[in-house]
Structure 1
């Protein structure tokens, strides 16, 4: 992750908050610029061109919410994470309405949640080409027509199949369900479907169901009326109504709470929305595209996703292949983004040494295209130019490749697990409910990953928001 390109800006006047955030973010490789007043914060925001901001709403100088609105107006693509004193629904609603991406509390201070929120924000700013375009349409602007070939880099058979599917389905009204690992470009796929459709000049509204607190999600999707609950100081148009005449993209749809799944199903059946507190529903014309990095059928089997909603949404499935399955695309993507990043930084690079491309082809790229982009960005920011050689690559990539591909001269020795050992492992589970076993597995996985919920989520193939929700239900803290 290259914090040099995307500096983190923190606006907070409490030394304890500054120290706590720095102690979490600096070891993770982020650089942090700190402002202690609203005026200083806005000046640094403009000076550093920061794309990710941590903002304490409780500034003694006041104006925390005004600063938030000013930053959103000045740079709509910025990701702003708000910090509040305690978990307050009215305060959280107000911040989300003003444009905050995430709302955290400083009492209790949750290091894992802070790091996960920053990771999400920075990843969003490091997306492939069309970032500025994507940020604009996320907030409801008009999308310019473009083809799938403009959005995706790569000519592998796997990507050609995806592009063919996009061209086939774009012109219809059918609901599209996109699956794939994190970092494979699911939102770009949704944008390509929208851009190739008759709705291309309508709004493209993207909503990450996993990044919005569950108690705010209904309001974000369907809107609310002034006075419908504490903190609803004005009418709010939901994402479904904002997408009228265009496309509504629901990312991480499997993270929706059951009650909201019911309302989404009703919306799909009736094409009407009813904001919280409204007396009458309103008809809208919206195409739905949804996505998840999980297996939606497995979520149905687990009882986490309604079966009838699954069949309603899973009309045209598109699977985004992982980078390791896109033979030959790694070199093409790397060269394309190297040229683009070099232009942005005003530097001249002469391609990659053969051994670098060989390493790229060997690596499994667990973070997919997003990880490759981060590696290339790191190289461009930290080096003046020339041919990219092995010593210019991040040390973390070298370590990952060594771990993934041990010395081929060593012959692995198979380890047999005895029946007694297997029974010992089962003895601790026999007699327990599935809920107890699930809690044991999640908590022990978090512990084995140093308390990191995002890392545990990757091991368990779950969304971090799912784990956070379960921990909150158990009364525990990550």
Structure 2
């Protein structure tokens, strides 16, 4: 195996890194400048490079680009000072395998190198055998230009350890995106473990993520592996990441920096090899500004963003998705549907789909369950879809969402309002009481979070239409 290439201009650090690597059995060749590093790279063609981004004679990022042009399957671990995290994130987006922020401990350092070596060995054979493609991935359906960009983004990032941050409206397929990243990665044979941070009470979330030992708290009747341990060797998908409690965000940040987990009640931590993918339908930067999400965690997670477009921006994808789902649902329900009528296709193209793909699938399931076929017609669709200017809900709402009711307000405040106005008032007040958390409000109201998201999207559209 080719030696590791270490490019570090600080002599003392170079000596420390060399000592650690050689002590772990690795052969190392070092360089102190960009020019020397490039010369050694051309000579050795290393599988793994440790690269300081701040070099005396050039930019580490420019040097990394040259390396990847010469040998695209090189795994480059960038090393930089804590104040230069933006440079490290840019490097990850440019193709780096992993980044380390100084100071870091020896275990974290060696763990990153070992992962890069292991993944690099598998990658050489797998990439050579894999033809280049730009079509749909995993369970995605749709060939619109905007989705082809998403597929290309997924393929380009899948080989690295870079954390992926998926954003998009409710119902756009964020978990499918996470599964696609996992499926295209070198971890595809490892576990894919999804965890919805908004569906688990905050006092239990730490145990769900990191696990616990028997007797560590009331109700802990047996040892429990957390999601991070279950995902060892694979991918951990943290959905609705912005719902995570601030205290747990601190522990997640520590986990990302050290690759070590410590179950509740455990005396010592242990190392796991996990890739993190997270998702939210909120604006994460707005959550940071509001103080609900740690800024340092945001920058550690928001390395490679992937935004999933709403269905209304995907052109003919709505028809492709509907036709594919029609075949599947017909088989599942024992029906003989084979096509959509021209009128249904026209409606699907013009509809706003506030609930996105999830709403479209529900509409198709509704038609298949209640009818025999063979063609889906307008009459088979839910009533609210057939109405002019239909939205997901036809309940009238007042133009401006009401402010939360003052403490002590009772039934008298609601007298004279329509049932729809009362519903909106109760939902918005409950969300406000939970500091903007839709999942927590949904648990109190005993409804699905997606129901609230859809209603709020409908209210927003009605306000816009009436403006």
TM > 0.5 between the two?
yes
**Would you say 1:266 and 2:240 are equivalent positions?**
no
1:314 and 2:288 aligned: no
Shift of 1:463: 4.6
Residue 447 of structure 1 and its aligned partner are, at CA, apart by 6.3
Establish whether residue 381 from structure 1 lines up as the match of residue 369 from structure 2.
Answer: yes
Equivalent residue, structure 2, for 1:197: 185
The counterpart of 1:208, out of the listed 186, 196, 199, is 196
Q: 1:241 to 1:437 in 2, by over 3 A?
A: farther
Question: Matches of 1:350 and 1:461 in 2, distance apart?
Answer: 47
Q: Distance in 1 between matches of 2:217 and 2:420?
A: 36
Equivalent residues, number: 302
Gaps of 5+ in 1: 1-144, 407-416, 430-434, 472-477
Matches within 5 A, 1:49-68: none
Q: Secondary structure at the match of 2:137?
A: helix
**1:392-471 correspondence to structure 2 within 5 Å:** 392-399=380-387, 401-402=389-390, 448-450=422-424, 453=427, 463-467=437-441
Change (3 A) 1:373 1:464: same
- Who is 1:355 aligned against? 343
Structure 2 vs 1, CA of residues 344 and 312 (structure 1 numbering), >3 Å: closer, same or farther?
same
Say yes or no: does 1:370 pair with 2:370: no
Q: How does 1:27-46 map to 2 (within 5 A)?
A: none
Of the candidates 225, 228, 234, which is equivalent to residue 246 of structure 1? 234
Offset at 1:220?
0.2
Q: Which has the larger radius of gyration?
A: 2
C-alpha separation in 1, matches of 2:390 and 2:437: 27
- The answer as to whether partners of 2:136 and 2:142 remain within 8 angstroms in 1 is no
SS in structure 2 at match of 1:154: coil
Tell me the residue number matched to 2:280: 292
- 1:249·1:288 contact (CA, 8 Å) conserved in 2? yes
The alpha-carbon deviation at position 468 of structure 1 amounts to 6.1
Runs of 4+ with deviation above 3 angstroms? 145-148, 399-404, 435-440, 443-448, 450-458, 460-463, 466-471
CA contact under 8 A between 1:350 and 1:385: conserved in structure 2?
A: yes
> What is the rounded CA distance, in whole Å, between the counterparts of 1:455 and 1:149 in structure 2?
40
SS of structure 1 residue aligned to 2:156: helix
Distance 1:452 1:152, change over 3 A: farther
Cα 1:453–1:439 change in 2 (3 A) is: farther
Asked if the contact 1:225/1:277 (under 8 Å) is kept, the reply is: yes
Q: Distance in 1 between matches of 2:406 and 2:297?
A: 28
Given candidates 152, 157, 161, the residue that maps to 1:164 is 152
The separation in 2 between residues aligned to 1:438 and 1:354, in whole angstroms, is 54
Q: 1:199/1:397 Cα in 2 relative to 1: closer, same or farther (>3 Å)?
A: same
Verify the 8 A CA contact 1:453 1:464 in the aligned structure 2. no
1:256 matched to 2:230? The reply is no
Which ranges of structure 2 fall in alignment gaps of 5 or more residues?
Answer: 1-129, 446-451, 453-467
Structure 1 pair 259–168 and aligned structure 2 pair: CA distance change class (3 A) = same
Separation in 2, partners of 1:201, 1:273: 22
User: 1:337 offset after TM fit, Å?
Assistant: 0.7
Report deviation, 1:188.
0.4
Distance 1:246 1:446, change over 3 A: farther
Cα offsets for 1:168-217 (capped at 9, x unmatched): 00011000000001110000000000000000000111000000011100
Q: Is the 8 A contact 1:449 1:456 kept in 2?
A: no
| Aligned position for 1:220 | 208
Instruction: Say if 1:155 and 1:329, in contact at 8 Å, map to a contact too.
Output: yes
2:165 aligned to 177, 183, 204, which one?
Answer: 177
- Residue 464 of structure 1, CA deviation: 1.9
Shift in Å at residue 403 of structure 1?
5.7
Which position in structure 1 is the counterpart of 2:332? 344
| TM-score (normalizing by structure 1) | 0.57
Distance 1:276 1:403, change over 3 A: closer
Instruction: Report how far residue 465 of structure 1 moved.
Output: 2.1
Q: Distance in 2 between matches of 1:276 and 1:285?
A: 19
Deviation at residue 437 of structure 1 after TM alignment: 9.4
Q: State the distance in 2 between where 1:326 and 1:226 align.
A: 50
Residue pair 1:154, 1:329 contacting (<8 A) in 2 also: yes
The higher-RCO structure (CA 8 Å, 6+ apart) is 1
Is the CA contact (8 Å cut-off) linking 1:272 and 1:281 kept in structure 2?
Answer: yes
Aligned-residue Cα RMSD (Å) equals 3.7
Q: 1:326/1:193 Cα in 2 relative to 1: closer, same or farther (>3 Å)?
A: same
Give the one of 312, 324, 327 matched to 1:324. Answer: 312
